Amino acid sequence: MTDTAMHLTTDEIELWAQGLLPAARAMHLADCSLCLTEAERERNVILELVHLLKFAPKAGFADRVMAQVRIPTPSGDWTDGR
């Protein structure tokens, strides 16, 4: 039995989704719709995570900015400035 004949493990699917799976194992996906379906699902999960991670720091940054904005100004002179 060759490497390409074996179904991918969960670990291997994770590697594939990250583009790290060796080509010899990735070739199995061309022949096996079962593993391909699993792999695409895993990739979608990872893409979702990447998407969330990209936006999470920005949301935190916005919160910090808003906290700064809410600090009261020492005098009322600034209210006419905008």
**Which residues form the interface with Zn ion (CB under 5 A)?**
7, 32, 34-35
- Indicate the helix (H) or strand (E) that contains 58: helix 33-69
Q: Output the smallest distance, CB 7 to Zn ion, in A.
A: 4
Q: How far apart are CA 36 and CA 26, in angstroms?
A: 10
Nearer to Zn ion, 27 or 32 (CB): 32
Nearer to Zn ion, 3 or 48 (CB): 3
Maximum Cα–Cα distance across the chain? 81
Q: Output the smallest distance, CB 4 to Zn ion, in A.
A: 9
Q: Output the smallest distance, CB 45 to Zn ion, in A.
A: 18
Q: How far apart are CA 75 and CA 57, in angstroms?
A: 33
